[in-house]
Chains A and B, each alone.
Chain A
Amino acid sequence: MAALTMYPDNERLDGGNRVAFNLYIITAVTLFVLMMLLGLTMRLGQATWLSVPPDLFYRILSMHGAGMVGTAALATTAVMWFFLRKYVRLHLWAFLTNYVMFMLGALCIIFAIFVDGYGALWTFLYPLPVHGMGLWSPNAAALFMLGYLLIGVGMLVFYLDAAAGIIRVHGNLGRALGLQWLFRGTIDPNHPKAVVASTMVVIANTLGILAGAVVLVMGLVNVYYPEMALNALVAKNLIYWFGHMYINATIYMGVIAVYELLARYSGKPYPISRPFLWSWAVSTLFVIVVFPHHLMMDYAEPTWLVVMGQVVSWGAGFPVFLVTVYGALTNIYRSNMRWTMPSRLLILSMFGWAAGIVPAILDGTVRINLVMHNTQWVPGHFHFYLLLGVLPMALALMFHVIGQRADAPPNTAADRLGFPVYLIGGLIFVLAFLDAGHLSVARRMATHLPAWTATDEVGSIGAILVVLGMLYFAIRITVGLLKAPARGEPHGGTANTAG
C-alpha cells in the first residue's frame, strides 16, 4: 500500500527541491538554537543568575518572540510544502520567494532591534511602537513593521500558489476541505489529509496575514503622521487576529507530518474519516473567530465577542482531543510500532499539544483570565504546545528525511539520550512557567520580585536542558541533510521494517 511506504518516490528531494528544503530546515534549526539561547538568557536574568539590563532584556524579548514565531512558521511551512507537493502542483519559485522574503524581513527585524534599539515586542501593540521614550526611534519601529510586512508577503505568495494548486485539483477550497462529505456520501479514501489541513491553513492564515497587513500599514502611517491616530482597541483586535492565526497555523501545518508519517512507523493504516473532516471544518471556523480570548481584560470589547472567545476556546478542545490526538493514539495502540527518533517525536508532539491545551483552555475562561492574564501562566501554556508540540512535529519530519540519507534509521545512542534531555528539560521549563502563573508571577518583566525567583531558577535549569537537546538535534539534522543521498532503497524502505 503506497501510504505505508516509508520513503515514497514522490517525496524524493532532488535538485532544486533538495536545496530549498535544506535551506529552510538548516536555517530553522539554527534560528531555533539561537532564539532558545535568548530565551535562556532572559530566564537566567529573571533568576538573578545573570545580569541582564532591562533595555537589553526587552530587546531580547522582542527578538525571541518575533524570532520564534517566524521560525516556527518557516519550519512548518517546509512541512506543508514537503507533503502537499505530492498531491498538487506547487511552484518551487513560490516556496523560494517565501524563504527570500523571510530572510529579508528577518534582517529588517534584527537591525531594528539590535542596531536601532526597538523593544516593543513581537506584538507591536499600538501605540507602544511610537512611544519608545528615547530607547528606540520611530524609524526603528517602522523598520520592524516593514520586516513583518516582507515576511507576510512572502507567506502570502506561498499560500496563493498552494491555493491555486489545490483548486486546480479539487475544484474549490470547500471540496478540498471535504465539506461535501460532512453529512453524506462515501468519502474518497485517497483524499489526502495533507490537502485538508493545508486548505484550512491557506484560508485561515491568509485572512490573518491580511489583518496583520492592515494594522501594520496603519501603524506605519501613524509612525510618520502621528496626527493619524488609530483606535487602540481596533488595532489590538487586528493584531491579535493576525497573531493568533499566524502562530496557530504552525500547529496545523506541522500536524501534517503526523498524518503522513505516523502510519509508516506504526505499520497501521491511518485512514481519513468523517470525524476527521468535521474536526477540520470546525477548526477552520474556530481558529478564525477565537482571537477575542486575548482581549478578555479589555472591558471595552463588546461582550458578545468576549463570550465567543471563551465558548470557542473551550470548543476548540473537541477536535484536538477527540480526533487528532485520539486518532493518533488509536493508530499506535497494539501496532507494530518501532521507536526511532521520528516516531518518538511524532508521539511527543501529540502529547505536547493535548496536554498544553488544558491550561490554555482554562486561561480562555473570562473568570480565570481575571487572575491569570499576563502572568507566566500564558508563556507556560503556549510554550507547552509549541516546544513540546509544534517543534517535535517539524523535527519528526527532519529526522525522517535524514533517515533516508543514513545507513540506518535515526536511532543512535546519542539520539536516545538527546530525546529525554529535550523532553525532561521541556517539561521542567513549562511547568516552572505554569507554577509561576499560579503564583501570579507577571510575564514580560525584566526584573522579578525576590518571592518570584524560585520558579525562575527551576525554569532556567529546564531551559538549559532544552537548549542542550535542541543543539544536539540541530547539529544532527544539519549534518544529516548535507550528506549525499543514500544509493538505492534505504533501510526502512517499506513501512515499519526500520528499527
Chain B
Amino acid sequence: MILQNVVWTISLVGMGLVALGFVYVIRQAGKPADDAATRKAAHTSNLLRRWLFGSLLVIFVGGTYATLHRFPIAPQHTPLDIHQVVDVVGQQWSWQITPDTVHAGSPVEFRVTSKDVNHDFAVYAPDGRIATQTQAMPGFTNKIVYTFTQPGTYKVMCLEYCGIGHAPMTSEIKVVAADGG
C-alpha cells in the first residue's frame, strides 16, 4: 500500500463530500421555506451539526492516536544502535553520500547535514515515489532511520530550493539484497 495513494484517495473523498454538501445546499437555495419548514430545517441543521462535530471528534482523536502513538521520526539526541550508517552532506549543488551502497531488510541511519544553505535530502524509490526525506540544515544533523525493502537504485533529490542548481542536485543510493547479491 503506497501512502501517497491513500492520502490522494482520502483527499478526493473528503473534497468530494464537501462538494456534494455544497451542491445539495445550493440546489435548495432559492426555494424559500415557510415558517414550519424553517423551524424543521433549523432543528435538522442543529442535529446534523452535532453529528458532524461527533464525527470530526472521532476522526481527530482516532487519527491523532493512530499517527502519533509511534512517533514516525527517530530520536535525534540518543545513540541509535544501528549498524548501517550513512553520512550525507548537502552543498550547493551536490550530495556527498558515504557510503552510497546499503543493504535491504535492515535499518539504515542517515545522518544528514549541510555545508551552506538549507537543502532537503529526499530518497525516491525506483517507482518514482518519495520513500523518505529530511531537511539538510547548516549547523544541525538530522537523523533518518529507514529500512529499504526492495533492492534497486534509489534517486536522491533536493526538495528545498537552494539556488539555480536546485533541480539538477541529484545523486543515487544503491540498495542491494540482504545477502549482498
Interface residues of A in 22-53 (CB under 8 A from B): none
Q: Are A315 and B21 in contact, CB atoms less than 8 angstroms apart?
A: no
CB distance from A461 to the nearest CB of B (A): 20
B78 at the interface (CB under 8 A from A): no
Interface residues of B in 1-35 (CB under 8 A from A): 3-5, 7-8, 10-11, 14-15, 18-19, 21-22, 25-26, 28-33
Q: Are B29 and A334 in contact, CB atoms less than 8 angstroms apart?
A: yes
B126 at the interface (CB under 8 A from A): no
B172 at the interface (CB under 8 A from A): no
Q: Are A440 and B124 in contact, CB atoms less than 8 angstroms apart?
A: yes
Q: Are A362 and B160 in contact, CB atoms less than 8 angstroms apart?
A: no
What would be 14 A-B contacts, judged by CB atoms less than 8 Å apart? A54-B164, A128-B162, A298-B137, A306-B73, A322-B53, A332-B25, A339-B30, A358-B18, A359-B15, A367-B3, A372-B4, A372-B7, A375-B130, A438-B8
A-side interface residues, number (CB < 8 Å): 77
Interface string of B128-146 (1 = CB under 8 A from A): 1111111101111111100
Set of chain B residues within 8 Å of A131, measured between Cβ atoms: 92, 116-117, 163
Set of chain A residues within 8 Å of B133, measured between Cβ atoms: 297, 370-371, 373-374
| Known pairs A299-B142, A374-B122 / 19 extra A-B pairs, C-beta < 8 Å | A131-B163, A132-B163, A135-B163, A232-B140, A236-B137, A297-B120, A297-B135, A297-B142, A347-B22, A354-B22, A359-B14, A370-B72, A371-B3, A373-B133, A374-B160, A435-B8, A439-B128, A440-B129, A442-B159
Set of chain B residues within 8 Å of A311, measured between Cβ atoms: 64
Q: Are B60 and A366 in contact, CB atoms less than 8 angstroms apart?
A: no
CB distance from B162 to the nearest CB of A (A): 7
CB distance from A499 to the nearest CB of B (A): 10
Which of B29, B67, B143 is the one whose CB lies under 8 Å from A337? B29
Query: Which of B37-45, B80-88, B98-106, B173-181 is the contact stretch?
Result: B37-45
Q: Are A127 and B25 in contact, CB atoms less than 8 angstroms apart?
A: no
Which of A299, A351, A375 is the one whose CB lies under 8 Å from B159? A375
Q: Are A444 and B68 in contact, CB atoms less than 8 angstroms apart?
A: no
Query: Which of A194-202, A214-222, A445-453 is the contact stretch?
Result: A445-453
Interface string of B56-86 (1 = CB under 8 A from A): 1000100110011001111010000000000
Q: Are A266 and B120 in contact, CB atoms less than 8 angstroms apart?
A: no
B167 at the interface (CB under 8 A from A): yes
For residue B116, which residue of chain A has the nearest CB?
A131
A228 at the interface (CB under 8 A from B): no
Q: Is the interface of A mostly helix, strand, loop or mixed?
A: helix
CB distance from A359 to the nearest CB of B (A): 5
**Closest 4 pairs (CB-CB, A-B):** A337-B29, A358-B14, A299-B142, A334-B33
Which of B8, B72, B139, B141 is the one whose CB lies under 8 Å from A434? B8
A424 at the interface (CB under 8 A from B): no
A55 at the interface (CB under 8 A from B): yes
For residue A336, which residue of chain B has the nearest CB?
B32
Counting chain A CB atoms within 10 Å of each CB, the highest count among B60, B67, B159 belongs to: B159
A119 at the interface (CB under 8 A from B): yes
Q: Are B166 and A329 in contact, CB atoms less than 8 angstroms apart?
A: no
CB distance from A383 to the nearest CB of B (A): 13
CB distance from A459 to the nearest CB of B (A): 16
Set of chain B residues within 8 Å of A329, measured between Cβ atoms: 21-22, 25
Q: Are B41 and A335 in contact, CB atoms less than 8 angstroms apart?
A: no
For residue A438, which residue of chain B has the nearest CB?
B8
Given contacts A133-B92, A371-B3, contact A332 B29 (CB under 8 A): yes
Which of B21, B30, B130 is the one whose CB lies under 8 Å from A371? B130
CB distance from B52 to the nearest CB of A (A): 6
Q: Are B60 and A128 in contact, CB atoms less than 8 angstroms apart?
A: no
Q: Are B37 and A307 in contact, CB atoms less than 8 angstroms apart?
A: no
Set of chain A residues within 8 Å of B129, measured between Cβ atoms: 371, 439-440
Q: A442–B159 Cα gap in the complex (Å)? A: 6
Q: A19–B107 Cα gap in the complex (Å)? A: 65
Interface string of B142-167 (1 = CB under 8 A from A): 11100000000000010111111111
CB distance from B73 to the nearest CB of A (A): 6
Q: Are B56 and A321 in contact, CB atoms less than 8 angstroms apart?
A: yes
Q: Are A362 and B166 in contact, CB atoms less than 8 angstroms apart?
A: no
For residue B70, which residue of chain A has the nearest CB?
A367
Q: A127–B4 Cα gap in the complex (Å)? A: 31
Set of chain A residues within 8 Å of B41, measured between Cβ atoms: 333-334
Which of B19, B63, B143, B159 is the one whose CB lies under 8 Å from A355? B19
Set of chain B residues within 8 Å of A379, measured between Cβ atoms: none
Interface residues of A in 442-481 (CB under 8 A from B): 442-448, 451
Set of chain B residues within 8 Å of A444, measured between Cβ atoms: 161, 166
Set of chain A residues within 8 Å of B4, measured between Cβ atoms: 371-372, 437-440
Q: Are A355 and B18 in contact, CB atoms less than 8 angstroms apart?
A: yes
Q: A375–B71 Cα gap in the complex (Å)? A: 22
Which of A318, A335, A338, A445 is the one whose CB lies under 8 Å from B166? A445
CB distance from A331 to the nearest CB of B (A): 9
Set of chain A residues within 8 Å of B64, measured between Cβ atoms: 310-311, 314
Set of chain B residues within 8 Å of A437, measured between Cβ atoms: 4
Q: Are B19 and A233 in contact, CB atoms less than 8 angstroms apart?
A: no
Interface string of A383-405 (1 = CB under 8 A from B): 00000000000000000000000
CB distance from A333 to the nearest CB of B (A): 5
Interface residues of A in 123-151 (CB under 8 A from B): 125, 127-128, 131-133, 135
Q: A329–B22 Cα gap in the complex (Å)? A: 7
Given contacts A330-B45, A367-B67, A373-B120, contact A299 B29 (CB under 8 A): no
Set of chain B residues within 8 Å of A63, measured between Cβ atoms: none
Set of chain A residues within 8 Å of B5, measured between Cβ atoms: 438
